[in-house]
Amino acid sequence: MKTTTALIMIMSFFSLAQGQHSSPKIFNLLVGTYSSPDKSGIYIYTFNAETGEFTKKAETTGIANPSFLAITRDRKHVYAVTEVDGGKGSVSAFSFDPVSGKLSHLNNASSGGDGPCYVTIDEKNRFVFVGNYSGGSLSAIPVNADGSLNNDIQTIQHTGSGVLKNQDKAHVHATVLSADDRYLFVPDLGTDKVYVYKVDYTKEKPLSPADPAFASVTDGNGPRHFIFHQNGKYAYLIQEMSGVITAFDYVDGKLASKQSVSSAPKDFSGKIDAADIHLSPDGKFLYGSLRGDINELAIYAVDKNGKLSYVGRQSTLGKIPRNFAIDPTGNFLLVANQNTNDIQIFKRDHKTGMLAPTGKKILVEKPVCLKFATVN
C-alpha cells in the first residue's frame, strides 16, 4: 500500500512538473508608449497568467515615441518604430534579456518615410518590415548578425486616395507576414486596399508585388490592422472609419472576401475609429477595439468555416483603446487605453469568449502597444 501511494505521489509530481514546463504561466509584458526621450519609453513587466498579477521589471529611456513593437521568435531582440523631429521615422533595435527584462539599444535605421506605425520581423530574423502611416510607404530593413539594423533599405511608396477627407493620400497602417513568411500583407487606410507582396530573402530588395497585387474593400472603410487565423486558412481585417471587420479565405498569397460584419453598436451614429484586432489563442474567438465615441471591445465567435457571429461587447474602462493583447494562455485580455494612461486587465472566459473586469490595471503614460514573450 505504501509503495502504491508513493508511486502515485511521484507520478503526480512528474505530471505537474511536466505541465508547468509545457505550459508556462509567467510571461514578459512589453509596453510601447508615446513619450519624449527624457522619459521612459518601453516598459517591461512580469505578468502571471494564472492570477493576473504583474510586477515592473525594467524600462528604457532615450528613445522618442517607441510605439509599436516587434519581438524576435528567439526573444533576443526587440524592434520599435519611433517618430523624431519633423515627423521623420526610424526603427530602433534593442538586444533583449528575457530573464532580467533589460533592453540595450543597438542602433537606429531610417524607416524610409514619415510617421512609422507598425513593425514586424520574419521568423529567421532576416528583415524588419515597417509601415509608414504619414508617408504612405513601407520598407524592408536588413538585419545584421548581431541584431542591429542595416540602412541599405528597400522602400515602396504607395499612391492613390479614397473618398473620405482623411483618405487624401496613401496611409500604410500595418505590415503583416503570412505564417510561412513568403508574403507580406499591407493594409492601406488611404486607398482602401490590402496590398500583397512576395518576399524573396535572397535579394537585397526582397519585396515585389504579388499576383494579384492587392485586395480591395468598400470605399471609405479605411483598412487598418490585419491578422491570420492560427490554421492559416482565414484572415481578418478591421477597418478604421467604418468599424467593419472583413473575413477572408486565404490560399498562397491570395485573399477572397467572404463576410463583413460591423463592430459598432447597432444604430450607432458617432465616431467609430476602430483600431486593433486579435484572435484568442485557440482561434475560437475574435476581438476588435473601437476608439472614438465608443471605447469598447466587440467580441465574435469564429465557426469552423472562419465566419464570425456576434457574442457581445465590453467597455475598455478607459479612452482610446489603441491596442490590446491576449496572454498566450488565453486567460486574460489586456487593453492599452492611450488617453487614460492605463492598461486594464480583463479575465477571459474560454468557453464563451466574454470578458470580466478584474479591478487590476497598470498605470503607464500613453500606452499604445502590448506584446507578450516567455521569460525563459
pLDDT in tens, 198-254: 999 999 999 999 999 999 999 999 999 999 999 999 999 999 999 999 999 999 999
DSSP for 130-157 reads EEETTTTEEEEEEB-TTS-B-S--EEEE
Query: How far apart (Å, rounded) are the C-alpha atoms in residues 199 and 185?
Result: 10
As a whole-number percent, the residues of the chain with pLDDT over 90 amount to 88
Q: Is the pLDDT of residue 294 over 70?
A: yes
Say if residues 169 and 180 touch (Cβ distance below 8 Å): no
Task: Please name which of 293, 356, 349 lies closest in space to residue 320, comparing C-alpha atoms.
Answer: 293
Domain boundaries, the chain: 217-315
| The pLDDT value given to residue 40 | 76
Residue 11, pLDDT > 50, answer: no
pTM more than 0.85: yes
Provide, rounded to the nearest whole percent, the portion of the chain with pLDDT above 70: 93
pLDDT value of residue 36: 75
Residue range 26-40, pLDDT digits in tens: 999 999 999 877 777
> Quick check: 267 and 277 in contact, CB under 8 A?
no
What does the pLDDT average to over 346-371? 97
